[in-house]
Amino acid sequence: MRSEGVTAMSYGAADFALSVGGVVRTYEQNQVLKTIVVSAARAYGVDPIDKVFFDIKDVEGFRRECLEAKSMGFIGKQVIHPSQIPVANEIFSPSEEEINWARKVVDAYEKAVREGRGAISLEGQLVDYVHYKLAKRILDFANQTGQ
The per-residue pLDDT for 2 is: 60
86: number of Cβ within 10 Å: 11
- Of the CA atoms within 13 Å of residue 124, those in its CB half-sphere come to 0
Q: Examine the residue annotation and report whether 128 is marked as an active-site residue of this protein.
A: yes
The architecture (CATH level 2) of 8-92 comes to Alpha-Beta Barrel (3.20)
**pLDDT, block means (10 residues), the chain with 147 residues:** 81 95 93 96 94 96 97 96 96 93 96 91 93 93 80
The per-residue pLDDT for 147 is: 74
The per-residue pLDDT for 4 is: 79
Radius of gyration of the chain (CA): 18
41 vs 44: CA distance, rounded Å: 5
E strands present in 11-124: 47-50, 76-77, 120-122
User: Residue ranges of the domains in the chain?
Assistant: 8-92, 96-144
Q: 21: left (phi > 0), else alpha (psi -120 to 50), else beta?
A: left
Q: Max Cα separation, the chain?
A: 58
In contact, 103 and 139? CB cutoff 8 Å: yes
The per-residue pLDDT for 79 is: 97
The per-residue pLDDT for 141 is: 84
The per-residue pLDDT for 143 is: 85
**Which residue among the candidates 15, 55, 58, 128 is catalytic per the annotation?**
128
Single pTM value for the model: 0.81
